[in-house]
């Protein structure tokens, strides 16, 4: 093309004496000659087809571009592993480290699926289809790890497929894929009940003291999250300069969520202030000093198991339970509007807050009792007015 050559080895051989340089074919009519010439004709057709497709796509046509298309080495023949690598390098600064860790987990499952089920080291993106997705889902459902550990639940499997869907969408935009293989596939998440603590259970934890200083610190940090709604990482990174005096004269937390970078402003409840006062000594050293002693997430959750068991609370409680407790028991059940709760939790969508939100039976009872009282009062007024007539 344009006077420039690109050479391709076809991995075939013949004697120099049997080769016609002008025709570019093997001389003679032997079976070997016919087979080799037929193969060369097929290659020629494929190369011409590669040229035609490049023209149809409006691409710059060079000898190297035709060669790459013929060998499947251009953007139209990207592989799944190349896509994963592209995602992990181009998107690594977009999601948070915790989110990227989940993508790496999905990547490991995909590699195992290719090797164990498809007997492949890699697969072209154009080979991804509905069957591939459903087979991968079935592989995740039946996967048995070598070491005994908890396997994926339905929602965990759906999260792996959701991450694969996002990576595939990344391939659709630059047209590495002509069509989205997920277009006929629907993620099926099961609704789950999110655990939270009731007022009685909160009181049990508050009134229980522990001999170990570590358990006492974890208890206080967990309760602080229950009364502020901050997530684990936001409590851990909370510094003294983020505690400011609000327009109402009370102490507020002004910070940004680590997960979404959303600004949140939370007025401190009295019990949250008491916990800060308990660990205030560190605040005098440095204005950027972290205000609470927070252990690693794993250690914190391990201590919480012991704390809840000692308090007679038979629930699966993790640090994130505190955030649910704030949304449910502390705010919504006490009449705080869901819009206000959403703002304090740092959610960009109200629907996200509704996942946390629960209208407790007690609250339903109170609301209905108020309605009954109003209706009775209204009836009594109407009866009095009728009798006066």
pLDDT tens for each residue of 37-54: 999 999 999 999 888 887
Q: Is the pLDDT of residue 286 over 60?
A: no
CA 22 to chain centre: 61
For residue 263, CA distances in Å to 217, 230, 234 come to 27, 12, 12
Q: Is the pLDDT of residue 76 over 70?
A: no
Beta carbons within 10 angstroms of residue 387's beta carbon: 7
For residue 76, CA distances in Å to 66, 87, 130 come to 12, 17, 19
**pLDDT score for 287:** 42
Report how far residue 265's alpha carbon sits from residue 263's, in angstroms, rounded to the nearest whole number: 7
**pLDDT score for 358:** 61
Which tens digit of pLDDT belongs to each residue from 222-276?
999 999 999 999 999 999 889 998 888 889 999 988 877 888 999 999 999 999 9
65 or 164, higher pLDDT = 164
Q: Is the pLDDT of residue 204 over 70?
A: yes
Mean pLDDT to the nearest integer, 282-295: 68
**pLDDT score for 142:** 92
Query: Percent of the chain, pLDDT > 90?
Result: 46
Report how far residue 303's alpha carbon sits from residue 305's, in angstroms, rounded to the nearest whole number: 5
Closest residue by Cα to residue 103 from 115, 112, 95: 95
Return phi, psi of residue 291, to 5°.
Answer: -85, -15
**Half-sphere exposure (Cβ direction) of 289: Cα atoms closer than 13 Å:** 13
The dihedral built from the CA positions of residue 353, 359, 360 and 363, taken in this order, carries a sign that is positive
Query: Percent of the chain, pLDDT > 70?
Result: 93
At 373, list the tokens: 């009282």
pLDDT band with cut points at 50, 70 and 90 for residue 75: low
**What mean pLDDT, rounded, does the chain reach?**
86
Mean pLDDT to the nearest integer, 353-376: 75
Mode of pairing for the β-strands spanning 25-26 and 243-245: unpaired
Q: Is the pLDDT of residue 97 over 80?
A: no
Mean pLDDT to the nearest integer, 203-225: 93
The domain locations on the chain are 16-76, 86-172, 199-358
pLDDT band with cut points at 50, 70 and 90 for residue 73: low
Q: Is the pLDDT of residue 291 over 70?
A: yes
Q: Is the pLDDT of residue 319 over 50?
A: yes
**pLDDT score for 155:** 92
**pLDDT score for 362:** 60
Q: Is the pLDDT of residue 81 over 70?
A: yes
Highest mean pLDDT among 3-17, 45-59, 215-229: 215-229
pLDDT band with cut points at 50, 70 and 90 for residue 62: confident
Highest mean pLDDT among 192-206, 271-285, 355-369: 192-206
**pLDDT score for 100:** 85
Q: Is the pLDDT of residue 284 over 50?
A: no
**pLDDT score for 31:** 92
Mean pLDDT to the nearest integer, 375-379: 87
174 membership: H or E segment, kind and range = none
**What residues contact residue 48 under an 8 Å CB cut-off, 6+ apart?**
none
Mean pLDDT to the nearest integer, 101-109: 92
CATH code, residues 199-358 = 1.10.443.10
Report how far residue 287's alpha carbon sits from residue 290's, in angstroms, rounded to the nearest whole number: 9
Report how far residue 304's alpha carbon sits from residue 316's, in angstroms, rounded to the nearest whole number: 10
Mean pLDDT to the nearest integer, 355-367: 66
Closest residue by Cα to residue 356 from 368, 365, 344, 364: 344
**What residues contact residue 167 under an 8 Å CB cut-off, 6+ apart?**
83, 84, 87, 103
């Amino acid at each position: 093309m344009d006077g420039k050559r690109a050479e391709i080895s076809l991995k075939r051989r013949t004697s120099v004496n049997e080769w016609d340089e002008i025709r570019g074919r093997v001389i003679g009519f032997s079976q070997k000659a016919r087979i080799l010439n037929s193969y060369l004709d097929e290659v020629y057709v494929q190369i011409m087809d590669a040229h035609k497709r490049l023209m149809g796509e409006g691409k710059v046509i060079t000898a190297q571009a035709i060669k790459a298309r013929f060998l499947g080495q251009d953007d139209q023949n990207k592989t799944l592993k190349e896509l994963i690598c592209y995602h992990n390098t181009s998107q690594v600064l977009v999601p948070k480290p915790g989110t990227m860790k989940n993508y790496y987990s999905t990547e490991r499952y995909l590699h195992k699926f290719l090797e164990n089920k498809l007997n492949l080291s890699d697969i072209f993106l154009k080979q991804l289809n509905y069957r591939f997705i459903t087979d991968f889902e079935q592989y995740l459902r039946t996967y048995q790890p070598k070491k005994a550990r908890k396997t994926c639940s339905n929602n965990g499997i759906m999260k792996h497929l959701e991450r694969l869907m996002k990576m595939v969408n990344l391939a659709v935009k630059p047209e590495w894929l002509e069509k989205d293989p997920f277009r006929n596939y629907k993620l099926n998440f099961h609704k789950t009940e999110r655990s939270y603590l009731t007022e009685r259970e909160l009181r049990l934890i508050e009134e229980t003291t522990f001999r170990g200083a570590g358990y006492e610190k974890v208890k206080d940090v967990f309760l602080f999250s229950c009364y502020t709604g901050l997530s684990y990482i936001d409590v851990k990174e909370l510094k003294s300069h983020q505690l400011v005096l609000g327009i109402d004269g009370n102490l507020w937390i002004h910070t940004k969520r680590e997960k979404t970078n959303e600004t949140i402003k939370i007025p401190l409840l009295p019990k949250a202030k008491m916990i800060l006062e308990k660990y205030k000594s560190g605040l005098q050293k440095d204005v950027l000093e972290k205000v609470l002693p927070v252990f690693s997430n794993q250690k914190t959750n391990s201590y919480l198991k012991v704390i809840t068991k000692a308090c007679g609370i038979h629930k699966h409680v993790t640090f994130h339970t505190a955030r649910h407790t704030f949304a449910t028991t502390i705010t919504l059940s006490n009449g705080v509007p869901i819009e206000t709760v959403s703002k304090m939790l740092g959610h960009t969508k109200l629907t996200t807050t509704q996942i946390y939100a629960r209208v407790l039976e007690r609250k339903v009872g109170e609301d209905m009792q108020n309605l009954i009282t109003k209706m009775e009062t209204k009836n009594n007024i109407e009866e009095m007015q009728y009798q006066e007539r």
